[in-house]
Structures are given as structure tokens and as C-alpha cells.
Structure 1
Amino acid sequence: MHNPQNSNDHDHIYFFMDDKVFSYYNESLEEGYPKTIQEDFPGVPSHLDAAVECPKTECQMDSVLFFKGQNVHVYDIPTKTVKTKSWSHLPNCTSALRWQEHYYCFHGHNFTRFQPVTGEVTGNYPKDARNFFMKCDNFGHGQGYKVPKCSEIKLDAITTDDTGKTYLFTGRVYMRLDNARDGLHAFPIIRSWREVVNGVDAVFSYSDKMYIIKDNQVYIYKGDAHYTLIEGYPKTLKEELNIEGNVDAAFVCPSEDTVYIIQGRSIRAIDLSATPRVVLRDLPLPLSNIDAAHCSSDGIRLYQGAVYYEYESPMILAASRIAPRPQKIPAQLFKCEP
């Protein structure tokens, strides 16, 4: 359970066996457990097949979905009430998983992705879990997979949204890093941003929105459980940011209203709080051929192929006339060969 609003549940792990529930915190069984399932989750049957948490950003309320046969018992955490649904189109789930806002029902060595409110299944399912969730000989991405050299890595864009998730774009795929424990995993860009089909030129995040720049178009997506294109977009660079030409990279620093757009050997500072947008400064850049840029509390990184250049702040970057010493992209970031 991941519910920071309720410290009684947050970061607790629940095991269900027969008619009992076991609650663990910090890998220790909590006092008073095991209990009957009815004591902790009234209205939920015993001898369950699977269970998965569903926060209110993705379900109607903070909930737990309990699976038994073809029935799904939706337990509302705040009110402790249960609604039972029959999802006969789903196979009997022997386990269920929520991962990166997607929900998976596992059955045998196959899995089916489903929508947690309606149970709707979109796409060609079931699929073999050995092709996606693990590396097995002669299966999927484990078959003939060659770890790339770090020198072959090339970023197109990188950004961190308001929730702290970092997105890295390369070619037609993106990788998302929630924390070091989860690691990086690659997905097609069109899986999350359906309108962006041929990669990106630059990406930045601002005010719970993600701005994607491709050619002379700006796509703005509202961040939520899933990114949704705002009505009326894409718009041209001129319409949205009051600039023209090819964009190499872009970044916004935390808690700032300025986006820095890199075009060749120039960097433009644009006020995002102004409507229409205002170009505040147009400054020379001591580097060229920048692929991606990112700003965090640790400073600014400008990526160029397999190396990056680090600056403490936009002010220092703007004042620099000589490029700092390049640093190699760390192997642990991309799981690449040094």
C-alpha cells in the first residue's frame, strides 16, 4: 500500500492466505496479525486469487481490487465498502500488478493489461510475460540482447515532471525513472503520447504539464495518471513560444517560470508566465550540437552524444565563454557498457 495520507497503511505489505491477512511493516509482522480478512477488509471474501492497489488518481477512490474467479471486489479504502463486478472477459488472475499507472492480470506465464475502473482490455492480449517482464533464454528482449556501449548512447531530450518522475527520450522510445530502485525501462513514445509518432526534438515540464517540441510544433500534455493532449494543440513554435527555427534542447529549472531554449550556439530565455510569451534574453552558448538539456537542484546538464557538460545555474551558463570539461554519461544510468 502506498498511501501517504494514511500513515496506518502507507508502505505496508499485505499477504493474503486462505481466510487470513498478514500485515508487514519494515519486513516485520505487525502486532495483532494475522487477522481474518473480514477484520481488515470487511465484505471481501476469503481464498482470494489476487489483489492490487488502485489510487484515486486512477480509480474513483483510493481502492484495492480483489480478484476471485471472474469477480472483482472493489474495496473503497476511505468508506470500507465493497462493490462487486464481474469481468468475464478477463482470465482468472493468479496475481495482479500495478506498474507505472498500468494494471496487469497474470495467468500462467501470460498476462493481460486492463483498465482498473472498467476492466476494459485494449490491444492484442494475452501476451507472454517472458517476453516483457523477465529475461529468459530464447524469449523477447532477453533473446540476442546486446548491452549497448555508453559511447553509443544519444539522448534526444530529458525532463523531470512535478511528481519527480524523470523521462529520457531517444529515437522513438522513452525511459522513465521513478527512483533508482525501479531502474529504467524503455517504451514506445506513442504509448504515452499518442500524437508524437516520430521522436522528439526537445521536452520540458512546467506547471503540471509536459511540453514536447517536434520540428516547428509544440504539443502540450496535461499530467495526470496519463498524459492528455490539451485541446487546440499542437501549435507552432511561433504561436506558443514566440520563436522560430530548429530547437535542439530545452529545460526549466525547479520552481522557475523561465524555459531555456537551445538553438545551435544560442540559448533563449522565455517567460512562461507571460501571455503571449516573451523572449527575455538571447545569449551565445559556448557549445554546439547539444542533444538534450536538464535542470535539477544539482544544476544543469547539457548532453552531447555520450558526454555531458555541467553548470551550477542558468546565470553561470549564460555568462560562460569556455565550455567546462566534458564528463562521460555514467554507466549505471543507462545500464550500458563503459
Structure 2
Amino acid sequence: MLLLQTLCLGLTWALCLAVPHHEPGHGGEPKKHDHAEHAAVLDRCEGIEMDAAAVNEEGVPYFFRPGHLFKGFRGKAELANASFAELDDFHHLGHVDAAFRMHYEDNKTQHNHMFFFLDNKVFSYYQHKLEEGYPKDISAVFPGIPDHLDAAVVCPKPECDEDSVIFFKDDDIYHFNVRTQAVDEKQFKGMPNCTSAFRFMDHYYCFHGHQFSKFDPKTGEVHGRYPKEARDYFMRCSKFADGADHADRERCSRAHLDAITSDDAGNVYAFRGHHYLRQDVGNDKLHSESIEKAFKELHSEVDAVFSYMDKLYMIKDKMVYLYKVGEPHTLLEGYPKSLLEELGLEGPVDAAFICQDHIAHIVKGQTIYDIDLRLRVHVPVKEGLPLTLFKKVNAGMCGPDGVKIIVGNHYYHFESVKVMLMGRALPEQHRVSLELFGCDH
């Protein structure tokens, strides 16, 4: 199924076995499988090369393999036709060569459309629905751009001279002017040939194999220590490249944090996947190690963490793990306990923080619950209050300067919880990697 049978000759048997094949239906026609019938077994952490990358209208990265789609930085592969059904209807075409989301508000007919390039055809989707008349020849929609592309990425002014799309094929680079449809051919000397490319958090990334390089979209220049291992920065994998700088990887990772807190001394702990960062008060140096090494009972993937009276309340699924802060961190006797028993809430939750008092603020969906930790029986002190500014919160942290709410790769600062709950518009957006951890690349 999904365009792959002719490709299996060029793939390993392990990958081919992961591909659901056509079975004969009535009249000898290929039978289309239900999307849930076959569990996709491709593992993004095995070093597989992605064919295309794009960011959807909600800022979620999409990574494409033949017939499959990885959404975001974690989770299993899905069948691509579960999200973009018509890609399965053209069996003479290959896998997705390139993809991007057009994000130019002046371009009314194509703004927020997602484009997929397969061989000599281009598909245009709006809100996951194929636009009428598509697929079309690439030359009809993007005149002057060749077929069988390697990669493509949007490039707005002033990052490019004009609002453009950059197309990659072998050593040739094409800057396509969205307004005039003029094509400026260039060569990016010194940059590897891209198998996929995308713009993320105002930076441009060229993927080659399972490595990546950050590049200047005008010149193709690559600055800094590249290439780097893509799984270290764009995936949530437990194993990383040999010799990698783990602290640099964690502070510069594009994957969102699971939780963040500071203890009574002011030391900051930030958790992501299997690892965490620690920044000691008065010291700008960041340390990183595995969660399993420091909190062996947790292993990985915490949902929320807050600190109270020299203890770390670490919430995972429906359980609370209570650790005494120190070296090593010690799980207190009797823990883990259920979230309902310990804090009076059903799990799971999304974030938790405490603001220089005895009230733990627990975020669950679009509701925030206040729990007085001085009480012997911890129950929400009031009904949950609506958190209308956010559809989904990944983490939160409180400090002397107020509340930081982390959503994806950004955070929003509020003077207090009250100001946040009363707010009707989001404050300025800040980058987690740059402004919390000082990553400059």
C-alpha cells in the first residue's frame, strides 16, 4: 500500500516488511486497508533517512518516510494516507520527494496550504483536504522548477530577498519568487545535498541522511559545528550519537520539554524524554544526564515536576514520585503513590508549578487546579479555573519574576498566576532554547 511496492527493491527487508502491501479485492483490484489495520513499525530512532520535512499550520513538524509519517518529535510512525488520503491514489508515483507549508498571507490562494512533491506532480492540501484540480504538474504551479526534487523550504523576507520557496535538486538550488514566479538559480557550495529541508524557529535545516546542518538560506553557508545527528535534536530517542555533547544537545534540542522546575536553592531542572538538564544557582554551566541514572525509579518521560520544601514532586502518568533533593536523589519511603491519593486529582496531568507559597498549581488540559500542600489531605482548594489562553501546555515554572508557561519550543511570561488567568491575549513569545538555556544555534 501507499506507493511502495516498487521501492522495496531498494530498501532493506526490515523496512519492506514494515510496509503494508496490497491484497486482492473484488475483481482483482487492490484492496485499500483500513488505516488502523496495520501498525507501522518504522522506528525514527534507528537512523532512518527522512524523505521530506514540513511544519503544519499548528507548528508541528511532519517527517516523511515512504508511505509513513512521523508527527512531532516523538511517537510512532503513522500511515501517511491517514492524514493525506489522496497520496495513495497515484500508484505510479514514488514517495514524497519534498514538502512545505506556504505561509505568506499576501498569497491568498496558497496561504497555509501544504504542498507535496512526488516525481513530476505537486499536491496541494488545505486543512488536510486535497485542493480541486490537484495533483498538477510541478511546471504548471511552479514554472521553472524541475521534477524529481530532493527538498524544498519556504523563505520569507528578509531572510530571503523576496518571499520565496527554495528548491533543491542535486547540486542545484532554485529560489522561486512567490509573487513574480521568477526563478533564480544558485549553487550552495560547501553544503551537503539535502534529502529534506525545513524552516523551524526561524532557522533553516538541511537533512542529509540522518544528520543535519543549519544553513544561511541566501548563501548556503554553514556556520558552527555541523553536521550533527538529527536524532539528538529533532527526535526523542534514548540513544544518541557517540561522543555527542549531551548538555549542548539538550539545551539546543528542538523537542519540547516535558517538565521544568527550580528547587528551594534555585537550581533548575528541565526534563525531556530520557534526559534532563540541571543548572545550578550562580553557575551558568549546564549539566545533562539520563533521568534513569538520577531518578532510577522513573526511567523516563515525566509529565510534570514541582519543588516544595526540598522535595521534588515528580508526576508520571497517574503516579507521584517524591524525591528528597540531594546527591543522590532519594525516593521517599511509601512512594510512588497514586496522583489521586497524593494530590486529590485524577491523572494524567500536563504541567505543575508552585509560586513561592504553599499552593501547587496543576494544569490538566485547559483547566488549572490549586492544591494547598499544608493540608494533611491534599485536595483541590477550589474547582478548576479555565486556562483559556492555551489549548495545550507542555510545562510550567514559577519564580521571583513570575510564571513561565512552555508550549512547544516557546514560553510565555506572566507576572502572576492571576494575571495569566485574567489575560485575554498572549504576551510576547520567547524561545526556550535561546532565552532559558542560552543556545545560540
Query: Normalising TM by the smaller chain, what interval?
Result: 0.5 to 0.7
The 8 Å contact of residues 414 and 420 in structure 2, kept in 1 or not, is answered as yes
Alpha-carbon separation, structure 1, partners of 2:325 and 2:392: 30
What pairs up with 1:64-79 in 2 under 5 angstroms?
A: none
* Alignment partner, residue 297 of structure 1: 400
Counterpart of 1:230 in structure 2: which amino acid? L
Superposition pairs for residues 1-338 of structure 1, below 5 Å? 140-141=243-244, 152-179=254-281, 181-254=283-356, 256-281=357-382, 282-285=384-387, 286-331=389-434, 333-338=436-441
> 1:330/1:147 Cα in 2 relative to 1: closer, same or farther (>3 Å)?
closer
Paired with 1:290 and 1:218, the residues of 2 have a C-alpha distance of 19
Once residues 224 and 139 of structure 1 are traced to their aligned partners in structure 2, the CA distance between those partners, rounded to angstroms, is: 29
How much does 1:280 deviate? 1.8
| Secondary structure, counterpart of 1:331 in structure 2 | helix
Cα distance in 2 for partners of 1:225, 1:150 equals: 26
Structure 1 runs not aligned, ≥5 long = 1-137
SS at structure 1 position matched to 2:334: coil
Kindly state the Cα deviation for residue 326 of structure 1 after the two structures are TM-superposed.
2.1
**Kept in 2: contact 1:148–1:337 (CA 8 A):** no
User: RMSD over aligned Cα, in angstroms?
Assistant: 2.5
Per-residue CA distance 1:66-85 (angstroms, 9 max, x = gap): xxxxxxxxxxxxxxxxxxxx
1:257 corresponds to which letter in structure 2?
H
Counterparts of 1:167 and 1:142 in 2: how far apart (Å)? 18
Q: Give, in whole Å, the separation in 1 of the partners of 2:245 and 2:385.
A: 47
3-state SS of the aligned residue for 2:297? coil
CA apart distance, 1:325: 3.2
Q: Displacement, 1:233?
A: 0.6
**d(CA) in 2 for partners of 1:297 and 1:232?**
32
Deviation at 1:165, TM superposition (A): 1.0
Residues 200/165 of structure 1: CA separation in 2 closer, same or farther (3 Å cut):
same
Shift of 1:226: 2.3
Distance in 2, matches of 1:232 and 1:148, equals 32
Q: 1: distance between equivalents of 2:293 and 2:415?
A: 34
- TM-score with structure 1 setting the length: 0.54
User: 1:187/1:154 Cα in 2 relative to 1: closer, same or farther (>3 Å)?
Assistant: same
Q: AA paired with 1:222?
A: K
Kept in 2: contact 1:149–1:337 (CA 8 A): no
The answer on whether the counterparts of 1:154 and 1:291 sit within 8 Å (CA) in structure 2 is: yes
Cα 1:242–1:326, aligned 2, differ >3 Å: closer, same or farther?
Answer: same
Quick check: 1:209–1:222 contact (8 Å CA) kept in 2? yes
Match for 1:272: what amino acid?
L
Could you tell me whether the CA contact under 8 Å between 2:372 and 2:380 is conserved in 1? yes
How far apart are the structure 2 equivalents of 1:146 and 1:310? 24
1:321 to partner: Cα distance: 3.6
1:158/1:204 contact within 8 Å kept: yes
What amino acid does structure 2 have at the position aligned with 1:298? D
1:301 and 1:311 in contact (8 A); partners too? yes
Greater displacement, 284-293 / 173-182: 173-182
- In the TM superposition, residue 330 of structure 1 has moved relative to its aligned partner by 5.0
Q: CA deviation at 1:323?
A: 2.8
Native 8 Å contact 2:250 2:288 kept in 1: no
- Once the two structures are TM-superposed, the CA of residue 191 in structure 1 deviates from its matched residue by 1.4
Rounded Cα–Cα distance in structure 2 between residues aligned with 1:274 and 1:292:
25
| TM-score (normalised: structure 2) | 0.42
Residue segments in structure 2 that go unaligned for 5+ positions in a row: 1-240
More strand per residue: 1 or 2? 1
CA distance in 2, matches of 1:295, 1:159: 8
Aligned-partner SS, 1:279 = coil
Q: 2: CA distance between counterparts of 1:180 and 1:333?
A: 15
Q: Sort the Cα spacing of 1:272 and 1:153 in 2 relative to 1 into closer, same or farther, 3 A.
A: same
Q: Structure 1 residues 330, 192: CA separation in 2 closer, same or farther (over 3 Å shift)?
A: closer
Q: 4+ runs of 1 displaced by more than 3 Å?
A: 145-151, 179-182, 332-338
1:8 paired residue number: none
Letter in 1 for 2:375: A
Q: Can you list the C-alpha shifts for 1:97-132, whole angstroms capped at 9, x where unaligned?
A: xxxxxxxxxxxxxxxxxxxxxxxxxxxxxxxxxxxx
**1:41-95, CA deviations, whole angstroms, 9 ceiling, x for partnerless residues?**
xxxxxxxxxxxxxxxxxxxxxxxxxxxxxxxxxxxxxxxxxxxxxxxxxxxxxxx
Is the 1:265–1:288 contact (alpha carbons within 8 Å) kept by the matching residues of 2? yes
Identity of aligned residues (%): 41
Q: Is the 8 A contact 1:147 1:335 kept in 2?
A: no
Letter in 1 for 2:298: V
**1:236–1:292 CA distance, 2 compared to 1 (3 A):** same
Q: State the Cα distance separating 1:269 from its structure 2 match.
A: 0.6
Deviation, 1:309, is 1.0
Give the match's secondary structure for 1:141.
Answer: coil
Paired position in structure 1 for 2:73: none
Measured after TM superposition, the shift of residue 153 of structure 1 is: 3.7
